[in-house]
């Protein structure tokens, strides 16, 4: 019997770890590109409006559904409608699945105009000057029946975009920017 060389075992181990990482990344990409229809249900907490829409038909995003979602997620203070990044909707779709919920997301904020963002910044230090809400790339939500700390952890574990957890205000921010976290340290 030939004794195992430590370097060879270590290389084999590192290759295995690399394979797992590649597999996880491929799995996330596969979720984003599956042929599965994607439906999202939202209730806006400020306007009371609600919508359930199949925004991805298994092959492509559905323009009419995206328009409806853009309207629901508009800046309700200025009535400004702006295109929402479908990647944000995909994040919510995955989160809902991971949380095992069929409830509608409660939306606190979708798109935010520059006027609204500046007004909110003057009122709170927690509003970013260059918020991704200004680009339709962020949404603040809660999911009935799912603790917001758990929702934040599920979002963070996806390693897709930014995740902010606001325990006192009871919502989670997700966006399609670079991967980063902030907020209550108990969850993030």
| pLDDT higher than 90, residue 180 | yes
pTM equals: 0.78
CATH topology of domain 37-183: Muramoyl-pentapeptide Carboxypeptidase; domain 2 (3.30.1380)
Residues 6+ apart with CB under 8 A from 56: 36, 37, 38, 62, 86, 89, 90
CB 110 within 8 A of CB 84: yes
Query: Among the listed ranges 59-68, 125-134, 149-158, which one has the minimum average pLDDT value?
Result: 125-134
pLDDT of residue 21: 41
pLDDT (tens digit, 9 = 90+) per residue, 45-83?
Answer: 999 999 999 999 999 999 999 999 999 999 999 999 999
Write down the domain spans for the chain: 7-35, 37-183
CB 167 within 8 A of CB 186: yes
Q: How many CB atoms lie within 10 A of CB 53?
A: 19
| pLDDT higher than 70, residue 16 | no
Torsion on CA atoms 133, 141, 164, 100, rounded to nearest 10: -130
Band of residue 129 on the pLDDT scale cut at 50, 70, 90: low
Structure tokens at 178: 């670079």
């Amino acid at each position: 019997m030939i004794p195992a060389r430590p370097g060879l075992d270590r290389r084999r181990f590192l290759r295995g770890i690399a394979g797992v990482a590649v597999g996880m990344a491929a799995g996330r990409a596969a979720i984003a590109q599956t042929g599965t229809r994607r439906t999202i249900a939202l209730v806006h907490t400020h306007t009371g409006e609600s919508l359930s829409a199949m925004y991805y038909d298994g092959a492509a995003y559905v323009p009419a559904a995206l328009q409806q979602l853009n309207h629901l997620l508009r800046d309700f203070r200025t009535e400004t409608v702006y295109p929402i990044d479908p990647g944000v909707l995909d994040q919510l779709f995955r989160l809902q699945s991971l949380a095992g919920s069929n409830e509608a997301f409660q939306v606190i904020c979708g798109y935010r105009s520059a006027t609204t963002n500046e007004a909110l910044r003057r009122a709170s230090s927690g509003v970013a000057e260059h918020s991704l809400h200004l680009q339709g790339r962020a949404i603040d939500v809660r999911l009935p029946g799912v603790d917001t700390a758990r929702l934040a952890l599920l979002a963070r574990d996806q390693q897709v975009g930014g995740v902010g957890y606001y325990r006192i205000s009871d919502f989670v921010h997700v966006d399609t920017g670079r991967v980063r976290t902030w907020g209550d340290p108990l969850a993030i």
